[in-house]
Structure 1
């Protein structure tokens, strides 16, 4: 069984190696790169994959712990950030941030309000509008789960030198630029 697991890990690991998945260089040019360069690049890609998987598992654990879906969690993070900046949020602003319709926002707010995660109140200056805010209980629970994870991630980034952080930023920004509409 252990050898089978090792074989699967070897196959999975090789899926990011262009020498395996694109050996004739139809997509990935290896011009000017020796095997040591390619090995290191593959390790970078494997580390990104491992980070993505870790992030996915941690986000899923937070959602399960709080019994919320991904959109609910995004909404609550937005409301917590707004509260921390003493800003009021109207439902339409939340809909715009989440990129969802006003009808979907109403359903989301109903669900979060029933769950005790937020409250709706009259707008302080516009009698026709409502504002939404996160409850203290949800804010505290989010800080203890998602907040602690963020603090650990921040510490990892803080341990880098300014030059190393610049390299990471350039790399991640360049990766973001690889997104296509294909």
Structure 2
């Protein structure tokens, strides 16, 4: 390429160039949000003296109420043995207790300790309030666009999690229907 020559590709300012530029910026920001979210979760876990897996378990218990170790294993997508270790660690750290189920005395429920729930809320609620303030500052039109976009990202991630590992990601369907080959309509 000659010195000072522009690289080949869409002309600067074209719709395709803007689209590619915006896509890279959005993708990069989504990755950064995921990274920063993990870092905040790690800090909360450090404050509570637990690891990230245990924090996720505690979050499920706080959000959904007491669970059996087996139910917790399903939510965390781990074995029941791993769930038992998680509950053991949370109990040693003082974040949960094991209590008999009032409706079935054979079952044991993992119950979050009130002091831990309060501590988590003291840390997390101010963050959520600041995020809500940012959202409140958006116009209704902006909120609609962002919600639609995030919904599409969520749908994509859910589909990716359902796809077997190692299989190629399906390409985006074309907006134009495929043309039939052959001489006339097919009646099969």
Confirm or deny a common fold (TM above 0.5).
yes
Report how many aligned residue pairs link the two structures: 151
CA displacement at 1:109 relative to structure 2: 0.8
In the alignment, does 2:55 pair up with 1:73?
yes
Counterpart of 1:56 in structure 2 is 38
2:149 to 171, 176, 181: 171
In the alignment, does 2:133 pair up with 1:155?
yes
CA displacement at 1:150 relative to structure 2: 2.5
Note the 1:32-181 alignment, pairs <5 A: 33-83=15-65, 88-176=66-154, 177=156, 179=160, 181=165
SS of 1:61's partner is helix
Query: Retained in 1: the 8 A contact 2:98–2:110?
Result: yes
Quick one: distance in 2 between partners of 1:152 and 1:107? 35
- Judge which range, 124-133 or 32-41, deviates more: 32-41
SS of 1:64's partner is helix
Counterpart of 2:181 in structure 1 is none
TM-score after normalising by structure 1:
0.71
RMSD over aligned Cα atoms: 2.6
CA shift digits 1:117-143 (9 cap, x unpaired): 001111111111111111112111111
Q: Which runs of 5+ in 1 are unaligned?
A: 1-19, 25-31
CA displacement at 1:54 relative to structure 2: 2.0
Quick one: distance in 2 between partners of 1:174 and 1:116? 40
